[in-house]
Amino acid sequence: MFTPVETTIGAFLLHQATSILLHNNGTILGASEYMRRVVSKPTFGVAAFFAGMIASFPLLRLTLPELLTRYPPSPSTSGSAVMTVAMGLLVGWGTKAAHGCTSGHMLCGLSRLSGRSALAVAIFFPVALTTHHLVHPSLMTSVCTSDVPCYTATYPTQAATTSLIALAAVTIASGRLIPRIVARLTKNTKNAGDKSDDTSLARHATELFAGLEFGLGLHISQMSNPAKVAAFLSFPRLEVWDPSMMLVIAFGILPSLLENLSKGFSKSPRFTTKYELGNKTFADTDWKMVLGAAAFGVGWGMSGTCPGPAVLRSIAQPAWGLLWMGGFWLGGMFLSEEPEGGMCG
C-alpha cells in the first residue's frame, strides 16, 4: 500500500546519506562499487560504511521495529537457489558494465545532472518494468493483496509518526555535526582534519553515518522490500500499483539537486582536496554501458532487489546473501576494468 509518510522520511534520509558523503568526502554513494571494494579493495572507510548499514537494524529494532523490512523466505530448493545466484550475476555484471545502479545513477547521478546517469536510468527503469510485467503477469505482490487499490494511502499512528520524525532528525543532525566535531578534535593531535589526509577520522565518521542513513532510509522508505519495489513496477495497472517510489524521486533526488546547484563543485569538499566524480560524459557512452544498464534492469525487475537493499537482506538472511552476493561478485569478474573516476554506482 502507498505509504506517503514513511517513504517521504526514508527518502530524505537517502538524500542526506548521499549528500554528506559527496560534500564531506567528495565521493558518490555507489552501493555496487562499495560492495566490490569489500573484496577488491577493502579499507577502513568501506568497513565504516557497512557498519553504519548494519547499525540500522538494532536502531530500528529498539525504536520502530514495525519498520524493519520483512523479506520473503530464503531459497529452499535447488531451483530457487540457482535463480538467486543468476539474479545476483545479472545485477553484478550489469552494474559494473553500466558503472552504477539505482544509488549511483538515480540518487546521485540525476541530482548532478549527469547525462550518462540519465541515460542509464532511462534504460534500466523501463527494462525493469517490462521484465516485471513479463515474468510476473498477475502483478500481484504481498503488499497489495486486499480488495483496496494499492495506491490507497495508509498512515502510521501519531505516536509512530512522532518517533519516526525524531529518529530521522537525530540521525541527520548527528551525521552533519559529529564528523565536523571529530575533525576539530583530531586536527591538532593527528592532523586528521587536514584535507590531504585520506585516512581522516572525520572521513570515516562521515562514511559511518552515510551508511547508517542509507540503511535507515532503505528500511523506512521500504525500497529494501522486494515486494514494494515490484508493486511500483506494476504500473500502469493501477489497482496493484504502489506509487511510493515516486516520493523517493521527489524527496531523495530533488533536495540533492537543489543542494548541488547551490553549492556547485568548484570548491573542494570539507574533508578532502577534490571531488571524485569521474571524467566521462554522455558522449562516451558505448554498447557495454547500454547492455549493462539493460542487464541490471532485467535482474532488478525479476527480483525487486538492487545492490543497496541486497546488503540489508544479506544481513537479515545470510543464506540468501551467500547466494545472491556470490552471483553478484561472479558477474563482476567477467569485466576487468574498474568504473572510471571514483564510485559511480
**Cα 157-159-165 angle, rounded to 5 deg:** 100
Q: What confidence tens digit (pLDDT) does each residue in 277-329 have?
A: 877 777 778 899 999 999 999 999 999 999 999 999 999 999 999 999 999 99
The proportion of the chain whose per-residue pLDDT surpasses 70, expressed as a percent, equals 93
CA–CA dist 262, 248 (Å, integer): 21
C-alpha cell read off for 8? 517521504
CA–CA dist 30, 339 (Å, integer): 11
**Helical packing angle, 158-187 and 4-25, nearest 10°:** 10
CA–CA dist 22, 265 (Å, integer): 10
Least confident of 13-17, 82-86, 216-220, 333-337: 333-337
pLDDT of the residue at 228: 95
The per-residue DSSP string of 286-336 comes to -HHHHHHHHHHHHHHHHHS--HHHHHHHHHH-HHHHHHHHHHHHHHHHT--
Tell me the residue type at 268.
S
Polymer length of the chain: 345
pLDDT of the residue at 320: 97
37-46, 151-160, 333-342, range with greatest mean pLDDT: 151-160
Q: What confidence tens digit (pLDDT) does each residue in 164-199 have?
A: 999 999 999 999 999 999 998 887 554 444 454 545
CA–CA dist 323, 299 (Å, integer): 14
Residue keyed to cell 573542494: 268
Q: What is the mean pLDDT of the chain?
A: 91
pLDDT of the residue at 336: 58
Task: Locate the domains of the chain by residue range.
Answer: 4-333
pLDDT of the residue at 313: 97
